[in-house]
Structure 1
């Protein structure tokens, strides 16, 4: 079995693969203050709850955008699994050609998403990841990673609105039925949800215009991340939702480098 870890600013998502099949996945809070033993006990308990044995794991791969947590995670993997983990970064084979000015600046999660999507569809792509930040990535039909856009995530945008205003309440991220709302909470929800949908569709349209200059294939628009389904229901441009895109990309990269 292969264990993959996607370390984000808010959560660490773990996936356990047997051959090419995802057999279980879990989500932990990202906390740079946790020790390797604290992470190790958490992972051990997750495995035991599902009836899995740590000894059956033959490989571990980690993708991270949070450097401060990596020492604890790497040490946890070595101590509890007896394995030196593979880390997504410079020198790792991905199968995509990164066209960034400085390839080392590209977030590992963005590359992993691009690898998964291109490996699955083998065509031009726009990949939207609704995480702590929302990222848009453009990939050509030949597997060139062109770059993209980074926006504040929906949750942190909503949190900033609540924290920086004296009278506006904290609201749940649910879609109201109208944009002409008759109470403060619904008005905020409409602004956040529908405003973000408009942002998504506008950015996708601009990316398509720019991709047309270098690629003659209409890109497929894929969304992933926690709020992908909510956004996809309203967006005119999102065509597919893949909640496990990053985990699958980690599996593919592991296979390319094992």
Structure 2
């Protein structure tokens, strides 16, 4: 069995794979590294892989390096991956973006694929049918947009995405909420339409840790998979293990 750890800006997510199947998972807050070892002890794990988009505390690093099986860290531009990375600055590429692309590509090789990941940021990444990862775009996620409206104005309140989102806001709260949520929806639909004009048979994956009601945007996506990054991490780990046997 294999362990995958995806450390994001808000929390860490762990998953255990038996082959290509996820059999267990857990969310660990950044101040709870002590939960990692007991979770792993529930399974017969012989190897794992981890990635992070933020600097970790010494305690969190120790909780990973002290596990009783080898742990590979995914470092874009350094760690071998089963796709061709065409990003001109691979060392600055977010490992979660790369893992998500590898996860989607491993499930649908031979297809053009765009992965949309909604979290702290919203990322849009593209891999071609020939296995070339071309790169993608990054924009603020919903929480960041709400916070920016509050931080960079004098009177706009800090809101969340919960609440009414009419097409036209009827007060300040709904104007902000609708502006953020519908803005994200139009952004996603715009990206899908533009990329599909160049890649007509494009498959679109929607993933990430933030659940928001996007109405028609979700219908434009071919698949939804909240474990896409983990599937990519597992694929990268198996790829490296096979290379080491050669």
Distance apart, 1:248 and its partner CA: 1.0
Kept in 1: contact 2:165–2:177 (CA 8 A): no
Q: Which residue of 1 aligns with 2:244?
A: none
Kept in 2: contact 1:124–1:218 (CA 8 A): yes
Distance apart, 1:54 and its partner CA: 5.7
> Aligned partners of 2:85, 2:58: CA distance in 1, in Å?
27
Residue pairs, 1:10-159, within 5 angstroms: 10-30=10-30, 39=33, 41-45=34-38, 47=39, 53=41, 56-66=44-54, 68-69=55-56, 72-79=59-66, 81-89=67-75, 90-122=77-109, 123-159=111-147
Task: Give the CA RMSD over aligned residues.
Answer: 2.3
Distance apart, 1:136 and its partner CA: 0.5
Q: Which residue of 1 aligns with 2:201?
A: 218
Kept in 1: contact 2:123–2:137 (CA 8 A): yes
Distance apart, 1:146 and its partner CA: 0.7
The structure carrying a bigger helix percent of its residues is 1
Kept in 2: contact 1:116–1:252 (CA 8 A): yes
**TM-score scaled to structure 1, two decimals?**
0.83
Distance apart, 1:181 and its partner CA: 2.6
Q: Which residue of 2 aligns with 1:7?
A: 7
Structure 2: gaps (5+ residues)? 242-246
| Number of aligned positions between the proteins | 238
The change in CA–CA distance for 1:199 and 1:242 in structure 2 (over 3 A counts) is: same
